[in-house]
């Protein structure tokens, strides 16, 4: 499973990719080797079709566009005794200090100002400010008209609120909503589930490092991940949630929507009787 490759696809894939193409590339990266970037299994597996939300015909159409855009390379065609092999291309690294900035440079002393400077002979086009001879056209506020800038509580709202003045939305927001501790909303059920089960581990993920965890949650579901972590923590001392990543990646995916549990045949209570020794001793004459 290519966790590092998944993160690379999510952060460095070409901007020209559509959402469908990028999702398929993430699914293929999950099956590919981190070092060789080559897929292991067949791209027609149900896990790939379900993860990319594509049909078989749509799958090959999206693969064709990924190859055309340079994000994927076909190494070998599928044969009777082998599957087709695809290699995820190496993407360009984010801009580094040694790469020149292509943005337009800011104005330098040698670059003349293109704005026309205002001279005395150029009249001011702005509307003149109110002078004593210009009467105020706005009606004065009467006592019976309440100042809308002052709430009914009687505390006026500052004209230029400073950073130390909390806004109304922040004052009304509960403290628990402001303390996310850097955990994405989609990963909160998994973190809370392990903590409630007594598996207290560190979550050293930051920023893009949460993407593999979110992908595993979508693939196998929170209950399966929590159950695996509980079993693993019971056998060994686990300090970090990174310890579970490899095992989580080997869990089966969620079943297809609409798949029901197999029906079990009901057995009536009168059709089975416990064994009892025969009363007639003649049954033992044959040597049993």
**Percentage above 70 pLDDT, the chain:** 59
pLDDT of 26: 87
Residue 64's Cβ-side half-sphere holds a number of Cα atoms within 13 Å equal to 6
- Band (pLDDT 50/70/90 cuts) for residue 1 is low
Burial of 88 (0-12, 13-18, 19+ CB in 10 A): buried
Residue 241's pLDDT band, with cuts at 50, 70 and 90, is very high
275, 277, 279, 284 alpha-carbon torsion, rounded to 10°: 130
Check residue 180 and give its pLDDT: 59
Could you write out the DSSP letters of every residue in 235-281? Answer: HS---BGGGGHHHHHTSPPPPPTTPPPPPPPP--GGG-------S-G
Q: Name the average pLDDT for the chain.
A: 74
**Statement: the pTM of the whole predicted model exceeds 0.75:** no
Rounded distance between C-alpha atoms, residue 276 and residue 174, angstroms: 69
Give residue-wise pLDDT tens across range 179-194.
557 899 999 999 999 9
Could you count the other beta carbons within 10 Å of the beta carbon of residue 86?
21
97 band by pLDDT with thresholds 50, 70 and 90: very low
* Residue range 61-96, pLDDT digits in tens: 998 898 898 888 888 877 777 788 888 888 876 544
Band of residue 101 on the pLDDT scale cut at 50, 70, 90: very low
Q: How far apart are the first and last CA of the chain?
A: 60
């Amino acid at each position: 499973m290519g966790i590092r490759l998944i993160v690379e696809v999510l952060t460095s894939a070409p901007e020209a990719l559509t959402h469908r193409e990028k999702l398929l590339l993430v699914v293929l990266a999950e099956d590919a080797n981190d070092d060789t970037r080559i897929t292991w299994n067949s791209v027609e597996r149900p896990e790939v079709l379900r993860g990319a939300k594509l049909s078989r015909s749509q799958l090959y159409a999206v693969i064709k566009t990924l190859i055309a855009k340079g994000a994927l390379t076909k190494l070998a065609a599928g044969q009777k005794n082998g599957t087709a092999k695809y290699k995820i291309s190496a993407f360009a690294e984010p801009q580094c200090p040694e790469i020149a900035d292509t943005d337009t440079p800011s104005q330098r002393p040698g670059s003349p100002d293109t704005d026309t400077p205002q001279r005395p002979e150029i009249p001011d086009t702005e509307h003149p400010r109110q002078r004593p001879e210009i009467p105020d056209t706005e009606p004065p506020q009467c006592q019976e008209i309440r100042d809308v800038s002052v709430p009914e509580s009687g505390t006026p709202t500052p004209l230029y609120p400073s950073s130390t003045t909390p806004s109304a939305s922040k004052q009304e927001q509960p403290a628990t909503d402001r303390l996310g501790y850097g955990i994405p909303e989609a990963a909160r059920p998994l973190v809370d589930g392990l903590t409630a089960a007594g598996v207290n581990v560190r979550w050293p993920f930051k920023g893009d490092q949460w993407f593999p965890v979110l992908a595993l949650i979508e693939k196998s579901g929170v209950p399966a991940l929590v159950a695996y972590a509980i079993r693993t923590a019971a056998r060994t001392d686990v300090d970090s949630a990174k310890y579970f990543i490899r095992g989580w990646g080997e869990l089966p995916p969620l079943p297809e929507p609409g798949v029901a549990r197999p029906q079990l045949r009901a057995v009536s209570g009168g059709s089975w009787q416990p064994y009892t020794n025969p009363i007639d001793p003649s049954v033992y004459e044959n040597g049993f």
